[in-house]
Amino acid sequence: EVKLLESGGGLVQPGGSLRLSCAASGFTFTDFYMSWIRQPPGKAPEWLGVIRNKANGYTTEYNPSVKGRFTISRDNTQNILYLQMNTLRAEDTAIYYCARDAHYWGQGVMVTVSS
C-alpha cells in the first residue's frame, strides 16, 4: 500500500525557514517523480515543484512563485522527500502536501507564517 506521511510543519516567523519531510513507503521510491503542492486555507491547490526519478537524473522543476526560496530534494536511501523553505512570508501559510504523481497524496501538514 502506498503511504506518504508529511511532517515538519508548524508556526514560523516571517523571514524564517522550515524544512518539511515526506516519508514514502509501499513503492519503489526511486522509480517515481515526487511533488510538493500547497493549499492556502479555503483556496485552490498550488503546485510548487517536482523532483524527477532516477531514470531522469533526479532533476527538479519549480513554480516561479517559489523558485529561489524553496528547494526540493530526496533521500533515496531512506525514501524521504524534502521541501526546504526559506525567507517565509505570510502568504506561504498553507497545508503542504507531498504527492506521487497525481494518484497518491499525503494527508498534508500545516505551515503558519506569522509573528
Partner 1 sequence: DIVMTQGALPNPVPSGESASITCQSSKSLLHSNGKTYLNWYLQRPGQSPQLLIYWMSTRASGVSDRFSGSGSGTDFTLKISSVEAEDVGVYYCQQFLEYPRTFGGGTKLELK
What is the nearest approach in angstroms of partner 1 to the Cβ of residue 50?
8
Among the listed residues 60, 62, 81, the one whose alpha carbon sits nearest the alpha carbon of residue 70: 62
Q: In the 8-state DSSP scheme, what is residue 15?
A: T
What is the nearest approach in angstroms of partner 1 to the Cβ of residue 31?
18
- By CB under 8 A, which span of 9-17, 68-76, 77-85, 103-111 interacts with partner 1? 103-111
What is the nearest approach in angstroms of partner 1 to the Cβ of residue 55?
18
Q: Looking up cell 515526487, which residue turns up?
A: 34
Site for partner 1 in 20-59 (CB under 8 A): 35, 44-47, 49-50
What is the nearest approach in angstroms of partner 1 to the Cβ of residue 16?
25
Strands (E) across 1-115 are located at 3-7, 10-12, 18-25, 34-39, 46-51, 60-62, 70-75, 80-85, 94-100, 104-105, 109-113
Q: Looking up cell 518539511, which residue turns up?
A: 20
In the complex, the residues that contact partner 1 under the rule CB under 8 A are 35, 44-47, 49-50, 61-65, 97, 102-103, 105-108
